[in-house]
């Protein structure tokens, strides 16, 4: 039975002594996840294609207390099995196990608005503004790489199964970053991206079911509008992006009338990292958008 002190927030959501890996950890949602974990005691390895972004993020956002760390590793292109094998080998020489893998790296893909009811005009717009290669590249980064990144790290994740204090054996976990776009029925002009993120959602469920045999949990966060290089196309000198509230209000389908706060993403990451009773879930953090645009 739980005593009252067992509900202390540090006990519930602290990740002291955790070792985590975050792909695309130098900017956007990946950096938010990294900060949340490091601020609460975790050693976080961040990887991505741009070494400069990783090093800047690690240097600029080093936690001032808590004992957490942000450590660049790589570079790594998650669409390359060779890069992934090299990353796992390098990390395996530093750590005996990891507790958490956050598969965050992704791309937005081509955009073409289906904003006409005239079939000829609709074909013209979609046919000429999107290519097969763009679709394949989007799927390769947003879905295929999530699968192979997770598979590559399975041994290091399983090695992290061990008792945590007086609790039951700890189950390491994977958090995939999907999107509200993979759940809604509105294409948003991003047919390839929304389709890919829908596949990420289903992939998460498949991996959760199959990998629980290995003692590993898999869940997904489906973000709404959060500031990132993907959503606003740039970062500042601290690898941070800004999304003005008026840009969100212009969309007309965000009930909370603002972008998600970085801390709100961090809360969700910590919840999924620590709650052993959650497996195979897709948690939308979208400010109520799916109430307006509908999901499955």
Is 16 contained in some domain?
A: yes
Is 2 contained in some domain?
A: no
277 is catalytic: no
Record the pTM. 0.95
**Number of domains, the chain:** 1
Catalytic: which of 178, 179, 235, 241? Answer: 178
When pLDDT is cut at 50, 70 and 90, the band that residue 166 belongs to is low
- Mean pLDDT confidence for 56-65: 92
Q: Tokens at residue 198, please?
A: 């829908």
Q: Domain holding 224: CATH number?
A: 3.40.50.720
Q: Are 109 and 141 in contact (CB under 8 A)?
A: no
Is 1 contained in some domain?
A: no
DSSP assignment string, 24-59: TTTSHHHHHHHHHHHHTT-EEEEE-S-HHHHHHHHH
Is 100 contained in some domain?
A: yes
Is 7 contained in some domain?
A: no
Is 38 contained in some domain?
A: yes
Q: Are 100 and 74 in contact (CB under 8 A)?
A: no
Is 255 contained in some domain?
A: yes
Tell me which residue range forms the domain holding 116. 12-293
220 is catalytic: no
Is 5 contained in some domain?
A: no
193 is catalytic: yes
**pLDDT number for residue 33:** 98
Catalytic: which of 43, 45, 139, 197? Answer: 197
- Alpha helix (H) residue ranges in 130-261: 132-139, 145-158, 191-211, 229-232, 245-251
Catalytic: which of 145, 193, 220, 225? Answer: 193
Residue 165 has pLDDT above 90, yes or no: no
When pLDDT is cut at 50, 70 and 90, the band that residue 232 belongs to is confident
When pLDDT is cut at 50, 70 and 90, the band that residue 231 belongs to is confident
Residue 229 has pLDDT above 60, yes or no: yes
């Amino acid at each position: 039975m739980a005593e009252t002190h067992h509900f202390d927030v540090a006990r519930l959501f602290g990740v002291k002594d955790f070792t985590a890996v975050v792909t695309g950890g130098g900017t956007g949602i990946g950096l938010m996840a990294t900060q949340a974990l490091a601020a609460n005691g975790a050693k976080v390895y961040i990887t991505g294609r741009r070494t400069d972004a990783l090093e800047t993020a690690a240097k600029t956002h080093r936690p001032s207390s808590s004992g957490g760390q942000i450590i660049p590793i790589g570079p790594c292109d998650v669409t390359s099995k060779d890069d992934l094998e090299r990353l796992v080998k390098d990390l395996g020489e530093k750590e005996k196990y990891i507790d958490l893998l956050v598969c965050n790296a992704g791309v937005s893909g081509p955009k073409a608005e289906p904003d006409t009811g005239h079939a000829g005009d609709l074909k013209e717009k979609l046919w000429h503004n999107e290519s097969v290669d763009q679709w394949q590249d989007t799927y390769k980064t947003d879905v295929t790489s999530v699968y192979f990144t997770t598979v590559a790290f399975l041994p290091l994740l399983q090695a992290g199964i061990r008792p945590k204090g007086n609790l039951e054996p700890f189950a390491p976990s994977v958090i995939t970053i999907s999107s509200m776009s993979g759940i809604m029925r509105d294409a948003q002009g991003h047919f390839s991206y929304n389709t890919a993120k829908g596949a990420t959602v289903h992939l998460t469920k498949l991996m959760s079911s199959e990998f629980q045999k290995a003692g590993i949990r898999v869940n997904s966060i489906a973000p709404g509008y959060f500031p990132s290089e993907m959503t606003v196309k740039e970062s500042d000198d601290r690898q941070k992006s800004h999304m003005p509230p008026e840009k969100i209000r212009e969309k007309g389908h965000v009930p909370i009338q603002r972008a998600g706060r970085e801390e709100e993403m961090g809360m969700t990451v910590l919840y999924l990292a620590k709650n052993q009773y959650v497996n195979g879930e897709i948690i939308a953090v979208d400010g109520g958008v799916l109430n307006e645009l509908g999901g499955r």
